Amino acid sequence: MTPSTCRTGASSIVAWQRIPDIMRNPVPRIYPLGDEALVCEAPPPATLDVQRRIWAVAAIARGWDAVREAVPGMNNLTITFDALGADAAALAQALEAAWHEAHVGDALNPHAANAAATTDIAEGREVEIPVRYGGEAGPDLGAVARHTGLAPADVAARHAAGVYTVFFLGFQPGFAYLGGLDTALHAPRRREPRVAVPAGSVGIGGAQTGIYPARSPGGWQLIGRTALSLFDPARNPPTLLMPGDRVRFVIEHIGETVSEETRA
């Protein structure tokens, strides 16, 4: 599909929707976000296969003239467009068609600028993150251990044993939401969020893990900290991690468990 098809090629859009495996694809909900944006939202649960499809659709949409930006989220994609140069209804049809065309097995490169840049395997990079677990660096390690029934050292070991995939960036510049957390480590957010979470803090929030790039408020359980810079505006690109990258945590040290009274 060409960008002009989004404006005038209704027959091409309809033809593109005749995909034989449509029943195997989750059906997205597409709705406007103001006058110059559309959201393509997949039904839960959030899975790596769904995220790969979202990256593929984003790559396709970036090739359309009227689209200004395609931003992947968790189980969703938001595109912004020039309302004077595009028909929102036609773009919505094109998004739905692209969703069914973008087979998970196609594995479009999430770093690609457009749909022409395809690869057989789009794994992203593999990035190692050194982490000091527990102690002042990870004041909630003990709380996660108590919740999961594991020893603090086992929580750290299991966390570092995983290979995680960056699903999307959000919340603050460079904050990567990572999929692939061991179900044994799932833990609820804190009842009372912290006013200031140190930069580099590694946390667990529900079924996800992530790293705070900058000092900010936050409610995730903090189990460790890294000295790596996740976001640097002077760096190109400024974010250390990108959607599709694989992350491995490396244990640098496991500190003492912080008491309940001092971990606030």
Find the CATH number of the domain harbouring 64. 3.30.1360.40
Give residue-wise pLDDT tens across range 182-211: 999 999 999 999 999 999 999 999 999 999
Q: Is residue 181 part of a domain?
A: yes
Q: Rounded to an integer, what distance in angstroms lies between the CA atom of residue 106 and that of residue 122?
A: 9
Average the pLDDT over 40-47 and give the result: 90
Q: Do residues 41 and 146 both lie within one domain? A: no
- The residue segments making up the domain with residue 170 are 126-254
Q: What pLDDT score was predicted for residue 3?
A: 44
Please compute the mean of the pLDDT values over residues 13-38 and round it to a whole number. 65
Within-domain flag for 13: no
Query: What CATH number does residue 225 fall under?
Result: 2.40.100.10
Count of the separate structural domains present in the chain: 2
Query: How far apart are alpha carbons 138 and 215 in whole angstroms?
Result: 15
240 vs 122: which has the higher pLDDT: 240
Average confidence score pLDDT of the chain: 84
Based on the fold, state whether residues 148 and 217 are members of the same structural domain: yes
Same domain, residue pair 130 and 97: no
158-183 tens-digit pLDDT:
999 999 999 999 889 999 999 999 99
As a whole number of angstroms, the distance between CA 146 and CA 28 comes to: 39
Contact of 54 with 179, CB cutoff 8 Å: no
Q: Please tell me the distance from the alpha carbon of residue 197 to that of residue 262, in angstroms, as a whole number.
A: 15
Answer yes or no: do 227 and 131 share one domain: yes
Q: What is the pLDDT of residue 46?
A: 84
How long a stretch of residues is the chain? Answer: 264
Exposed (0-12), middle (13-18) or buried (19+): which is 210, by Cβ within 10 Å? buried
Query: What are the tens digits of pLDDT across the range 115-133?
Result: 443 433 356 899 999 999 9
State both tokens at 22.
């449509």
Q: What is the reported pLDDT for 257?
A: 76
Strand partners, 76: 41, 73
- Res. 264 pLDDT band, cuts 50 70 90: low
DSSP 3-state assignment of 217?
Answer: strand
Residue 107 has pLDDT above 60, yes or no: no
Domain for residue 78, yes or no?
yes
What CA–CA distance (Å, rounded) separates 239 from 177? Answer: 13
Is the predicted pLDDT of residue 155 greater than 90, yes or no?
A: yes
pTM reported for the whole predicted model: 0.76
**Six-digit token string for 215:** 């000092």
Looking at residues 50-79, what average pLDDT do you find?
93
State whether 73 and 143 are in the same domain. Answer: no
Reported as a pLDDT band with limits 50, 70 and 90, residue 19 is: very low
d(CA 203, CA 109): 28
